[in-house]
Structure 1
């Protein structure tokens, strides 16, 4: 068993390694970007990557405190679903208004893999191989559709 401090240190080490691995990769506009802390530039829309003990995920999280506005954002993304699927070359899971880790309702559009463990460095290549193409695809998708969300 790991202590909480050890778990935190291992997770930090993973995200530093992921950031170093992704550092030479420019975003869709050819700029340098901090991939692990991707900023969408639109309030309440986040790109989240997670690496946990039994899964890894990447996706879009809508965190507006007003459920009606959150649903409006979610519906707007739904209108762009074909573009997202074209960018990622796969279907993602769509979850409207489900509780996050602290019980707040959020909506997610995400892809998840199981059978990996961030605490096991042996699975890091698999986690990175999962996250890398999907966050790059999300960035390309966002470059196309972001103007439609800046008007909200």
Structure 2
């Protein structure tokens, strides 16, 4: 991914994608039984978190058009650290990051989706900055 520029043509650290908006994260995970990619809303105020979630909901058609698929929407769930977060995500089940034979499938799953998320984010980010 390193040589691939972002939607603005700049170099980017894809695995540690910075949205530039506090409490909005793009997360990619590859674990022993799944891979996932998504938008995580981690605002500690659950009402504000829900407002962000609703704001993304208003942009759902643009998001799904950019991604070319539907993702799951989960409001107010506990993450692995016990924090309440909301997620918009896609999961690839039954892959294992520890099994080298699964790497091509995991990379093929994550790569086009993070590029599409970047493209989507460039369109809608100004609405989240204020």
Q: 2:2 aligns with which of 23, 27, 31?
A: 23
How far apart are the structure 1 equivalents of 2:109 and 2:101? 14
What is the correspondence of 1:60-139 to structure 2 with a 5 Å cutoff?
Answer: 60-139=39-118
Q: TM-score, structure 1 length as denominator? A: 0.85
Runs of 4+ deviating beyond 3 Å: none
Shift of 1:100: 0.2
List per-residue Cα deviations over 1:76-116 (Å, max 9, x = no partner). Answer: 00000000001000000000000000111000000001111
- SS at 1:56's partner residue? strand
**Residue in structure 2 matched with residue 7 of structure 1 by the alignment:** none
> What is the TM-score of this pair, normalised by structure 2?
0.99
Verify: 1:36 aligned to 2:15, yes or no. Answer: yes
Unaligned runs of 5+ in 2: none
- Number of residue pairs the alignment of both structures matches: 130
Unaligned runs of 5+ in 1: 1-21
Larger radius of gyration: 1
Name the CA distance, whole Å, in 1 between partners of 2:23 and 2:70: 23
Shift in Å, 1:39 = 0.2
